[in-house]
Each structure stands twice: as structure tokens, then as C-alpha cells.
């Protein structure tokens, strides 16, 4: 297998170190790099990379493949020297995502740009932005200006909020595109909508105050949510849009219609998670409506896996699985229901949630998904072994969500993400047959000092 001395993460499909002398370019700014893009050379995002003592050759099936070969090349370089190698590369899964929650703590465009760069260097190709939640509405929509005017001012922990004006949204889309990343915006309905009620109190039901809400207020502060007033705590599941109001239907049509119009990628995420305050029949009606609106606007709906239980969900909908590697009771059936719809994105929370604590002492992160998640936890799982009936064919890909209840800025996000984001990158990109903890641990250990010297904060 690969020499562990090469800090390649995610591991390319095939790496052969040759006997030739390494390549030492005379001028580090002129690599004698030949790049050819030819669709007949392989599948989407694939490439071959050859380093000899005379120079570097990249042959890629498409511009994304050439971009990923450049990422491999950057990892190969040490002090201006490139080892002589032959690499063939292609991704295992076509959807490789990271998610940023910019609702709990708003993150400015520069932070999103930096996170895009980090993720793209690890060959992730989708950025899911969780744009709305109980704590704030983060995207300006012309059809509903009150959402950002009235419901974006605060973040969790009582921190300041913010939102993306349309120019900011364009800046994010452009930067993502320049790194071959597709943006997947999420507007979470019908729960996680307390902020909607700050702008439009008439559209939401009164918060459902459960023991969980009281316990969360006790543990983390933030008080008890009150309709029409900003919420800065961490509790989930208390808010819901009203179910029997035509004004809510008009709201869904405006919001998803406009979002579809300003989003170039194929997916729109409708949320649908943790609707503990919504009656199941009303929940089903919401999911049907929201997915139908998204599909009618020409987009593929994505929903958190609970929505799989809704018989009338639009059949093109992709499910995103967030329960554990060993599904808890009742969680696998709704997820499996997406196998015959749009397929699944897997984000098992006990291994792929980058907001779980990396050590018990850090103030950053949460512990609800089986406590601390180590680098080894994040690495040691196999996507096809989670849900019966959901194999390679039904799995669109893998996503690593990063929720931001405790993460205020880029430094916090980086500390939560690194190095575990490398483990998820490898699960998403590298062949299953190459999965090997010792090899991975050695390769990532080679990358950590480079990440640090590039200014990335790593615990
Ligand atoms: C669960 S799992 C959530 C989010 C929280 C996150 C914190 C899921 C779809 N939703 O609302 O931010 O846990 O880890």
C-alpha cells in the first residue's frame, strides 16, 4: 500500500512510488506542469498524476478532476521537492459534503470562503448551508425582507447575528464554484422556525415547552423561547409553523420559489428534522407541500431522514441520515424509505458530526451523539454497513455537518473540524478496500503540521 511517509488525505485510488529521482523544480513558481482535460480518460472528477524528475503531468476527465489532482500535488510537496509517483484517482461517492450551521452563530462571508477552501483541499464537492433556525434567519429574500430585517440580529449565546445580502450570497456561490463546490441551501421547516415568528408572529404556533427545553435552559442558559422574541439558547424541537393557515402556504411558496431562483445547484434542503412540536399529520402535510414546491421549481428536494416516513413526500427527494451508525429504534425505516426515492446522504451523528466534542475538557462542542468523538471514531465506519437495503447504489454520498451552537468564529469551527474532517473526506473519497486506520493515522499526522503552519487552528 501507500508509503505512510506521503501525507495524502484522502488517499487516492491508487498510488505507486516509482524508483525515479524526485522532481526538484528550479523555480518553485514554474512547475513544468502539463494539464490535459479529456472526458474520455475516465469518470467524473477522475485524474491521473505523474511526477518524474523532469516534471509533472496531470490528465483529468474534467476540470474538477484536474483541481483534485492539484490538491494531491500540494500534499506531495515537501520543501519544494516532489516524490516520483504515479497516481490514479477517482472518488468513491459523487456527493461529498460539508455543512456549516450559520444560523446558530452567523458566520461572515470570509469565514465561509475559508471553510470552502479547507473542504475543497480535501476533495469535498458540496457545501450545505443551514441558513435558518430558531436563533436567526440568515439570507435576504426580496419576497420577504422582514425575515432578515427583524429576525437576524442575534445568535446563540446572546452573540451578535447577521445575514447574507444578495451580493454576499453571490460571493459565496462564486467562491464555491471556483473550488468546484456546489452550494446546497437549507431552509428548515416546519420546525426550527422560531425566527420566522420573530418576523411574522402570525405564521408560527406558540413554542411547545417540554422538559428538554427547561433542562437545556438550565444547562446552557438562553431562557425559555417566547413567540415573537429572539431566542439565543440551544434547545431544539419547540417551534413550528402553523399548519392550517393559507398565509403559511404563501410563505413556503415565496421562500422556496425565490431560493430556487437564486441557487444554481440542483438541490434545495427543506430540513424537516426534530419537529417535536408539530402534530405528525400536519408534519406530513408540510413535507409534502415543501418538497412539491421545490420539485416544481426544478430542484431536487433534500430532507433530514425523519421525513422519509411521509408517504406523500415528493419521490425525487434525497434523504439525509443523521442518526447513529447503529440506528436507534425506529430511525432506520424512515431513512431506508429514501432508497427507492432520491437516495441517501449519510451523516451519522456519532461519527460524522464535527460539532461533537473532540475531548471532554474543551468548552467547544456538544456530547449528545454518544459523547466525545475521537479521530478514530470519525474514521472507523463503513457507509454500506449502516442501513439494511442501503448499499453503494442507494448512497449518494457522505456529509460532515458542523452545527454552531458553541462555535463563534472560524477558529472555533477549525478546532472542531480538524483533523476529523480528514477522516470523513477519506470515507467519502477513497476506495473501501484501502480503508486502514494505521495508514490513515500516519498520513494525517503528516498533514497536521502543514495545516498548522497554514494557520489552521487544530486542538
Ligand atoms: C441535532 S440532527 C440537530 C441540530 C443541532 C445538532 C447539534 C439534526 C438534523 N439536527 O438542530 O444543532 O443536533 O449537534
Q: Which one of the listed residues 77, 258, 274, 288 is annotated catalytic?
A: 274
Q: What separation in Å is there between the alpha carbon of 216 and the centre of ligand 1?
A: 14
CB 224 within 8 A of CB 147: no
Give backbone dihedrals phi and psi of 371, rounded to 5 degrees, phi first.
75, -150
Residue among 184, 346, 373, 401 to mutate when testing ligand 1 (max atoms within 8 A of CB): 401
Q: Which of 95, 121, 111 is nearest to 419 (CA)?
A: 121
Q: What are phi and psi of 51, to 5 degrees?
A: -115, 125
Instruction: Clarify whether residues 38 and 114 are in a common domain.
Output: no
Note whether 65 and 145 are same-domain residues.
no
Residue 253 resides in a domain:
yes
pLDDT at 4: 60
User: What is the reported pLDDT for 277?
Assistant: 80
H/E run at residue 74: helix 63-76
- Ligand 1 midpoint to CA 198 (Å): 21
The answer on 59 and 190 residing in a single domain is: no
Distance (Å, rounded) from C-alpha 271 to C-alpha 132? Answer: 10
CB 47 within 8 A of CB 64: no
> Which residue, judged by its Cα, is nearest atom 11 of ligand 1?
236
Residue 3 lies in a domain: no
How many Å apart are CA 123 and CA 109, to the nearest integer? 21
Domain identity same for 72 and 151 = no
Examine the fold and report which residue of 60, 89, 118 is the final residue of a domain before the chain moves on: 89
Ligand 1 pocket at CB < 6 A? 236, 273-274, 304, 322, 349, 353, 355, 366, 403, 405
Domains of the chain: total? 2
User: What pLDDT digit, counting tens, does each position of 262-290 carry?
Assistant: 999 999 999 999 988 889 999 999 999 99
Pocket test for ligand 1, best of 100, 194, 234, 403 (most atoms within 8 A of CB): 403
| 82 within a domain of the structure (yes/no) | yes
Share of the chain above pLDDT 70, in %: 99
User: Which residue, judged by its Cα, is nearest atom 7 of ligand 1?
Assistant: 403
- Protein residue with least CA distance to atom 2, ligand 1: 322
- Residue 409, φ and ψ in degrees, nearest 5: -150, -175
How far, in Å, from the CA of 99 to the mean position of ligand 1? 11
CATH number at residue 165: 3.20.20.80
Q: What do you get for the CA distance between the two ends of the chain, in Å?
A: 29
Nearest-angstrom CA–CA distance, 135 and 455: 30
Quick: pLDDT tens for 246-258.
Answer: 999 999 999 999 9
Can you give the pLDDT at residue 170? 98
Domain that holds residue 54: 14-89
The residue behind cell 434525497 is 318
Which CATH number is 63's domain given? 3.30.379.10
Q: What is the pLDDT of residue 3?
A: 57
User: Residue 8 domain-assigned?
Assistant: no
Position 159 in a domain: yes
Q: Whose CA is nearest to atom 5 of ligand 1?
A: 403
Q: In 3-state terms, what secondary structure has residue 81?
A: strand
How do residues 85-133 score in pLDDT, each as one tens digit?
Answer: 999 999 999 999 999 999 999 999 999 999 999 999 999 999 999 999 9
Q: What ligand 1 atom has the least distance to the C-alpha of 356?
A: 14
* Ligand 1 atom with least separation from CA of 366: 14
Measured CA to CA, the distance from residue 329 to residue 243 in angstroms comes to 28
Q: Which of 89, 112, 143 is the last residue of a domain?
A: 89
Average pLDDT, the chain: 96
Tens digit of each residue's pLDDT (9 = 90 or more) over 368-418 = 999 999 999 999 999 999 999 999 999 999 999 999 999 999 999 999 999
If asked whether residues 378 and 283 sit together in one domain, one would say: yes
Q: What is the pLDDT of residue 29?
A: 86
Distance CA 382, CA 373 (A): 16
Provide CB contacts within 8 A for 371, sequence distance 6+: 356, 357, 360
pLDDT digits (tens, 9 = 90+) for 140-151: 999 999 999 999
At 1 the pLDDT is 47
Same domain flag for 185 and 71: no
Residues 196 and 280 placed together within one structural domain of the fold: yes
- 18 and 101 share one domain: no
User: What separation in Å is there between the alpha carbon of 238 and the centre of ligand 1?
Assistant: 13
Nearest to 240, CA basis, from 290, 274, 291: 274
205 in the same domain as 153: yes
Distance CA 37, CA 33 (A): 13
Q: Which atom of ligand 1 is nearest to the CA of 273?
A: 9
Residue whose CB lies within 8 A of the most ligand 1 atoms, among 274, 308, 347, 356, for a mutation test: 274
- Kindly give the distance from the C-alpha atom of residue 101 to the centroid of ligand 1, in angstroms, as a whole number: 9
What pLDDT sits at residue 275? 86
Angle value at C-alpha 235, between 226 and 213, nearest 5 degrees: 70
Residue 2: the pLDDT is 53
pLDDT tens digits for 170-210? 999 999 999 999 999 999 999 999 999 999 999 999 999 99
- Do 85 and 209 reside in the same domain of the chain? no
The answer to whether position 458 is within a domain reads no
Q: Whose CA is nearest to atom 4 of ligand 1?
A: 403
Question: Confidence band (pLDDT; 50, 70, 90) for 437?
Answer: very high
Does residue 442 lie in a domain region?
no
- 50 found inside a domain: yes
Q: Ligand 1: which of 184, 273, 356 to mutate, judged by most atoms within 8 Å of the beta carbon?
A: 273
Closest protein CA for atom 10 of ligand 1? 273
Task: Give the pLDDT band (50/70/90) at residue 14.
Answer: very high
129 shares its domain with 69: no
Q: Are strands 132-133 and 136-137 parallel, antiparallel or unpaired?
A: antiparallel
Task: Give residue 162's Cα distance to chain centre.
Answer: 20
To the query of whether residue 274 is one of the catalytic residues in this protein, the response is: yes
Residue 199's contacts (CB-CB under 8 Å, 6 or more residues apart) are 137, 144, 146, 147, 149, 150, 151
pLDDT at position 278, please? Answer: 85
Query: Is the domain of 275 the same as that of 423?
Result: yes
Amino acid at each position: 500500500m501507500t508509503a505512510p511517509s506521503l501525507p495524502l488525505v484522502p488517499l487516492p485510488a491508487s498510488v505507486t512510488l516509482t524508483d525515479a529521482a524526485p522532481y526538484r523544480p528550479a523555480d518553485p513558481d514554474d512547475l513544468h506542469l502539463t494539464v490535459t482535460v479529456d472526458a474520455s480518460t475516465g469518470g467524473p472528477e477522475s485524474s491521473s498524476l505523474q511526477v518524474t524528475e523532469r516534471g509533472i503531468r496531470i490528465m483529468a476527465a474534467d476540470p474538477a478532476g484536474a483541481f483534485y489532482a492539484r490538491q494531491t500535488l500540494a500534499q506531495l510537496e515537501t520543501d519544494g521537492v516532489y516524490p516520483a509517483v504515479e497516481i490514479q484517482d477517482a472518488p468513491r461517492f459523487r456527493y461529498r459534503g460539508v455543512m456549516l450551521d450559520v444560523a446558530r452563530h452567523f458566520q461572515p462571508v470570509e469565514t465561509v470562503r475559508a471553510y470552502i477552501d479547507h473542504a475543497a483541499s480535501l476533495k469535498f464537492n458540496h457545501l450545505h448551508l443551514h441558513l435558518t433556525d430558531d436563533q436567526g434567519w440568515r439570507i435576504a429574500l426580496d419576497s420577504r425582507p422582514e425575515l432578515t430585517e427583524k429576525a437576524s440580529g442575534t445568535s446563540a449565546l446572546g452573540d451578535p447575528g447577521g445575514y447574507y445580502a444578495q451580493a454576499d450570497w453571490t460571493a459565496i456561490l462564486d467562491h464555491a464554484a471556483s473550488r468546484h463546490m456546489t452550494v446546497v441551501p437549507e431552509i428548515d421547516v416546519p420546525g426550527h422556525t422560531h425566527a420566522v415568528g420573530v418576523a411574522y408572529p402570525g405564521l408560527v404556533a406558540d413554542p411547545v415547552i417540554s422538559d428538554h427545553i427547561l433542562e437545556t435552559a438550565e444547562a446552557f442558559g438562553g431562557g425559555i423561547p417566547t413567540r415573537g422574541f429572539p431566542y439565543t439558547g440551544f434547545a431544539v424541537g419547540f417551534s413550528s409553523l402553523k399548519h392550517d393557515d393559507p398565509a403559511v402556504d404563501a410563505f413556503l411558496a415565496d421562500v422556496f420559489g425565490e431560493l430556487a431562483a437564486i441557487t444554481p445547484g440542483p438541490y434545495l434542503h427543506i430540513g424537516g428534522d426534530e419537529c417535536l412540536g408539530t402534530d405528525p399529520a400536519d408534519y406530513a402535510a408540510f413535507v409534502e407541500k415543501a418538497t412539491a414546491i421545490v420539485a416544481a421549481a426544478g430542484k431536487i428536494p433534500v430532507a433530514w431522514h425523519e421525513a422519509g416516513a411521509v408517504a406523500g413526500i415528493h419521490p425525487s427527494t434525497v434523504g439525509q441520515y443523521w442518526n447513529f451508525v447503529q440506528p436507534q429504534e425506529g430511525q432506520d425505516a424512515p431513512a431506508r424509505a429514501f432508497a427507492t426515492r432520491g437516495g441517501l446522504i449519510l451523516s451519522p451523528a456519532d461519527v460524522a458530526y464535527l460539532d461533537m466534542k473532540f475531548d471532554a475538557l474543551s468548552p467547544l462542542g456538544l456530547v449528545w451523539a454518544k459523547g466525545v468523538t475521537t479521530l478514530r471514531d470519525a474514521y472507523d465506519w463503513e457507509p454500506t454497513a449502516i442501513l439494511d437495503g442501503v448499499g453503494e447504489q442507494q448512497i449518494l454520498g457522505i456529509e460532515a455537518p458542523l452545527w454552531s451552537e458553541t462555535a463563534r468564529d472560524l477558529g472555533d469551527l477549525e478546532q472542531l473540524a480538524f483533523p476529523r474532517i480528514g477522516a470523513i473526506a477519506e470515507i467519502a473519497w477513497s476506495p473501501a478496500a484501502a480503508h486502514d486506520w494505521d495508514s490513515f493515522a500516519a498520513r494525517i499526522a503528516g498533514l497536521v503540521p502543514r495545516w498548522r503552519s497554514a494557520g489552521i487552528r487544530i486542538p
